[in-house]
Each structure stands twice: as C-alpha cells, then as structure tokens.
C-alpha cells in the first residue's frame, strides 16, 4: 500500500511555543490530506481537510488560527500548533488520499506533549 510519513514522531515543547508537524506521501501524489487528533482511549477526531494549493477546511470547533495547515505541494502538508498549551497535548495523525485511490493512507502519528 501507499506510504505516508510523519515527522517528528514525538515532540515535547514548552507552553507558549509553536510546533510544526510534517506529513509526506512518499510514493503517490496526495491531492487531499486530512489532519486528526486522538486523545487517549478515544477515537480519531477530524480537525481539517486540505486540498493541494487551497486553504484547509476546518471542522467545527477547531481554531484555524491555532492549528495552521499548509498543503503547498502534492506530497507535503504541515500542521503548526501555535502557542501550544498543555491541553493541546495529543496524538496527531495525518492521512493522505490520491484522486485515483478510494482509501486514505495514514501516517504513523506524532505524539505532542506540551509542558
């Protein structure tokens, strides 16, 4: 199957700083990328959907100024958590889909801890 990578896999940052997470599709062109967050023992919650070259569409309740998403190329999307707070600590997962594929392929996730 198609491969999606995320970097970093783990990050610890201080409260008030910003953190950038990268999501790359390694062997296909991702026309659509999705960002999710997952709290312990909970299901995945979609944060936003982005199509290459256009602005992301955020889900209700997700602050677009806090979670900045850039999808500038067909193989790279970034999520920046700005002015992170401890309640932003979570598991962030991206997924990618190409036009010709029915399924989404997921990255391995990034564990963010804000101290």
Partner 1 sequence: DAKTTQPPSMDCAEGRAANLPCNHSTISGNEYVYWYRQIHSQGPQYIIHGLKNNETNEMASLIITEDRKSSTLILPHATLRDTAVYYCIVRAAGNNRKLIWGLGTSLAVNP
Site of interaction with partner 1 (CB under 8 A) = 1, 4, 6, 31-32, 34, 42-46, 49, 51, 57, 91, 93, 95, 97, 99, 102-109, 111
* The two structure tokens encoding residue 93: 């997962």
Alpha carbon dihedral 94, 8, 68, 24, in 10-degree steps, equals -50
Q: Which is nearer to partner 1, 14 or 100 (CB)?
A: 100
Nearer to partner 1, 49 or 82 (CB): 49
Residue 13 vs residues 25, 27, 32, 57, 84: alpha-carbon distances, Å: 26, 31, 29, 26, 8
Least distance in angstroms from the C-beta of 36 to partner 1: 8
Q: Nearest distance from residue 17's CB to partner 1, in Å?
A: 24
> Among residues 16 and 111, whose Cβ is nearest to partner 1?
111
The distance of closest approach from Cβ of residue 43 to partner 1 in the complex, given in angstroms and rounded to an integer, is: 4
- Select from 23, 2, 21 the least CA-distant residue to 90: 21
Give the nearer residue to partner 1 in terms of CB position, either 31 or 77: 31
């Amino acid at each position: 199957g198609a491969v999606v990578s995320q970097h970093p896999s783990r990050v610890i940052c201080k409260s008030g700083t910003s953190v950038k997470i990268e999501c790359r599709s390694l062997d296909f062109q991702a026309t659509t990328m999705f960002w999710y967050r997952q709290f312990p023992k909970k299901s995945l919650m979609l944060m936003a959907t982005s199509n290459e070259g256009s602005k992301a569409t955020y889900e209700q309740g997700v602050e677009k100024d806090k979670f900045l998403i850039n999808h500038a190329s067909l193989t790279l999307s970034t999520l920046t958590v700005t002015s992170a707070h401890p309640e932003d600590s979570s598991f962030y997962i991206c997924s990618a889909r190409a036009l010709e594929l029915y399924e989404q392929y997921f990255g391995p996730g990034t564990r963010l801890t804000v101290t």
